[in-house]
Every structure is written in structure tokens, then in C-alpha cells.
Amino acid sequence: MSFRALSRVLQVALILTFACALGGAFIPGVVGRVSGTACIVLLIAAPVVRVGWLVVDWTRERDTRFALLGSALLLVLATSGAIALVR
């Protein structure tokens, strides 16, 4: 089942993020800073990957309406990110 695979992927992301967060909080210097930044990147990427995964899943299931809605959400997220970076 696809939701179980997505759950496993997010479980791995959770463990990785936690490890990076601990590194960022407790390791001094450059290593800690890189680890902390990786934690933030993972926190940003996880929900975007999840929506992307759902779009692929719904496309395979021929649930076209929700696949399009998911794509529209990814477009809104991309636009928001682009505007944020430009400003």
C-alpha cells in the first residue's frame, strides 16, 4: 500500500531530521552549523515531498481531480518560494 511506503519515507526523514537537530543543538562550530542547517532543509523539504508523492499516487490511481489540485498546490508553493527569495 502506498500510504505505508510514504509513512516509511517520512519515518526515515523524521529520524534523519532528529539526528541533524541534535547535531545542530549540541555540536559546536562548523559541523554543528551544517547539521542544524540540514535539519531546517529537511523540515522544509518533507511536506513538499509528501505533496509531490500524493500527486504521483493520485495520478496512478486516475484520481485526476485531486492530482490536479495537488499540482496546483505545488505551483502555489513554488511561487511563494520564488517570491520569498526574490524579495
Give yes or no for residue 59 binding another protein (CB under 8 A): no
Number of residues that bind another protein (CB under 8 A): 51
C-alpha to C-alpha distances, 17 to 2, 7, 12, nearest whole angstrom: 22, 15, 8
Give yes or no for residue 31 binding another protein (CB under 8 A): no
Per-residue burial over 50-83, b if 16 or more Cβ lie within 10 Å, else e, is eebbbbebbeeeeeeeebeebeeeeeeeeeeeee
Q: Which of 31, 56, 60, 79 binds another protein (CB under 8 A)?
A: 79
Give yes or no for residue 56 binding another protein (CB under 8 A): no
Spatial distance between the Cα atoms of 3 and 58, rounded to a whole number of angstroms: 11
Give yes or no for residue 81 binding another protein (CB under 8 A): yes
Spatial distance between the Cα atoms of 38 and 26, rounded to a whole number of angstroms: 14
Contact residues toward another protein (CB under 8 A) are: 3-4, 6-8, 10-11, 13-14, 17-18, 20-25, 32-33, 35-37, 39-40, 42-48, 50-51, 54, 58, 61, 63, 65-66, 69-70, 72-73, 76-77, 79-81, 83-85
